[in-house]
Amino acid sequence: MGQKKIDIPVVINNKVYTLSGFEGEEYLQNIATYINGKIAECKTSEEYRRMNIEYQGVLLALNIADDYFKAKAKADETAGDNSDKEQQLYELRHEVIESQIKHEAALKLVEEYKEQVNALQKKLVQLEAEKDKK
C-alpha cells in the first residue's frame, strides 16, 4: 500500500495553516519555510507593503512562479547536459570496444607471425644442416 496522507499545522505569515500531503512532515515544513522566506523577501520592498492584500498575493505568486521556472530551466539544462554526457559515454565505450577488438586481432596476428618465424627458423636450420652434409 502507498504512503499515508498526513496533515500538519504550519505557521505561514504568522497564521497557522494545516498542510496535507503524502510527502512527509519535513517536506511540508520546508514548503512553509520557503513561503515564509518569500513573504519576508517581498516585505523588504516598500512598494509591496503599500499594496493591498490581493496585489501582495499576486506579487508573491509571481515571485514563486519565477523561482519555479528558473529551477525548471536549470533542471532541463542539467537533463540536457546529462543526455549529452550519456551520448559521449556511449561513444567512448564504443571506441574502447573497437580498440579492444583491434588489439585482440593484433595480438592474434603477432602470434601467427611468431609461429611463422619459428617455422621459418626451423626450416632454415634444416636447410643449413642439409647444406653442411653435402
- In angstroms, the CA 79 to CA 101 distance is 33
Give the pLDDT confidence of 25-63 residue by residue, as tens digits: 999 999 999 999 999 999 999 999 999 999 999 999 999
Nearest one of 58, 64, 6 to 35, comparing CA atoms: 64
Give the pLDDT confidence of 64-101 residue by residue, as tens digits: 999 999 999 999 888 888 888 888 999 999 999 999 99
- In angstroms, the CA 45 to CA 56 distance is 11
Every domain of the chain and the residues it spans: 6-103
